[in-house]
Amino acid sequence: MKDLVWNVFKKTGSVTSYLLYKEIERYGERERNEKGYKTSAHPGSGAALH
């Protein structure tokens, strides 16, 4: 999808296509960061308070 939007931007110069491309890029980065956050070990995450 990202490549398709980029190709549309290259051919048309459409600012809207470029902005959509950047939004798709940001969404992908956010997903990668969230997956990394969920799978990483966080200090104190397993500690129970008594």
Q: What is the pTM of this model?
A: 0.64
Q: What is the span of the domain harbouring residue 10?
A: 2-38
Asked whether residue 50 is domain-assigned, the answer is: no
Assigned domain for 14 exists = yes
The pLDDT of residue 20 is 98
The reply to whether 8 falls in a domain is yes
Q: What is the pLDDT of residue 36?
A: 77
**Cα-Cα-Cα-Cα dihedral sign, residues 29, 35, 41, 42:** positive
Other beta carbons within 10 angstroms of residue 21's beta carbon come to 21
| 12 within domain boundaries | yes
Give pLDDT, residue 9: 97
- Separation in Å, CA 22 to CA 5, 9, 25, 27: 10, 11, 5, 9
- Answer whether residue 49 is part of any domain: no
pLDDT tens per residue across all 50 residues of the chain: 999 999 999 999 999 999 999 999 999 888 888 887 777 655 555 555 65
Q: Which residue is associated with the tokens 């290259």?
A: 10
C-alpha span between 17 and 15 (Å, rounded) = 5
What is the reported pLDDT for 47?
A: 57
